[in-house]
């Protein structure tokens, strides 16, 4: 019951993190990759890869992003095609125009929006028969608040770290949404089952008991995934480090919101209904 008892603490912590994230996003803005702004991606293979600083000095462009790929390759992102001789063998060169980049940005926004809407509709439908003491649509509302929490915090961290926002980042956000809603539904489903027992327990106690019954499962599952992602981040290739970091932060935020935000919100909704005499 400590999750429900100290729900104001969890609310304050999440509110603080969300405010910091929104401040970072509004003040610093997104460091969009050429996936969205347009530009050129060039991958060069070397027999003996030179220092990154040497490659940067040869490229006469202001916006340059260079990262390693494999043992001997560099992946270079620039606004315009590279004209300088960087040595090595060019094994890939793709150019994305600004129109195509804007279209990708629009489609990415639509993808995230559609996923969130479908998740809320699914949760509302799945809990349609749970009308008392909290209406089924409020399960969907609690879910969307938790999902917003899980998207804003990792995004804010990436902005603070100055990392690029690319299509892989959008893929990571969609994966986070899927994991978070899965974890939330497990807790909500236990609440539904306990409500069907038609006990005389207060709603707050039923929610608290349901969270306690699923707490170990949520933590153990998340810990298993966390260890895998941490290994990928620490010893995996540089190309996937940012992606792994995003999933780690999203995993932590999603597990936290499923336990400490979504379920206590149901109790908050119930108490608001009771104050209005709707229960």
Q: What angle do CA 117, 31, 116 make, to 5 degrees?
A: 5
pLDDT of residue 21: 93
Of 211, 148, 214, 140, the closest CA to residue 176 belongs to 148
Q: What tokens does 178 get?
A: 């899927």
Write out pLDDT tens, residues 234-277.
887 777 888 899 999 999 999 999 889 988 898 888 888 777 76
Write out pLDDT tens, residues 168-209.
888 888 888 888 888 888 888 888 888 877 667 788 888 888
Cβ-based neighbours of 95, under 8 Å, separated by 6 or more: 39, 40, 41, 81
- CATH superfamily ID and name for 2-33+99-275: Multidrug efflux transporter AcrB transmembrane domain (1.20.1640.10)
pLDDT of residue 13: 92
* DSSP 8-state symbol, 70: T
- Residue extents of the structural domains in the chain: 2-33+99-275, 39-96
> Minimum mean pLDDT among 48-52, 105-109, 164-168, 212-216: which range?
105-109
């Amino acid at each position: 019951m400590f999750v429900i008892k100290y729900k104001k603490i969890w609310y304050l912590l999440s509110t603080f993190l969300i405010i910091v994230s929104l401040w970072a996003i509004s003040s610093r803005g997104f460091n969009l990759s050429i996936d969205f702004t347009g530009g050129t991606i060039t991958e060069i293979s070397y027999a003996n890869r030179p220092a990154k600083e040497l490659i940067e000095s040869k490229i006469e462009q202001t916006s340059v992003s260079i990262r390693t790929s494999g043992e001997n390759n560099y992946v270079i992102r620039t606004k315009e095609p590279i004209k300088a001789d960087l040595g090595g063998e060019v094994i890939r060169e793709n150019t994305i125009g600004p129109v195509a980049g804007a279209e990708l940005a629009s489609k990415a926004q639509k993808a995230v929006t559609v996923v969130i809407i479908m998740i809320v509709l699914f949760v509302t439908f799945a809990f349609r028969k749970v009308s008392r003491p909290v209406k089924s649509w409020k399960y969907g509302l609690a879910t969307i608040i938790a999902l917003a929490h899980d998207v804003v915090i990792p995004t804010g961290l990436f902005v603070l770290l100055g990392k690029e926002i690319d299509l892989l980042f959008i893929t990571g956000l969609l994966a986070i949404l899927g994991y978070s809603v899965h974890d939330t539904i497990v807790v909500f489903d236990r609440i539904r089952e306990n409500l069907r027992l038609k006990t005389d327990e207060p709603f707050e106690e039923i929610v608290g008991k349901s969270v306690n019954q699923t707490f170990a499962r949520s933590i153990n599952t998340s810990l298993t995934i966390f260890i895998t992602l941490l290994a990928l981040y620490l010893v995996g290739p540089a190309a996937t480090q940012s992606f792994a970091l995003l999933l780690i932060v999203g995993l932590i935020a999603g597990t936290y919101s499923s336990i400490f935000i979504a379920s206590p919100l149901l109790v908050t909704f119930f108490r608001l209904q009771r104050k209005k005499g709707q229960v």
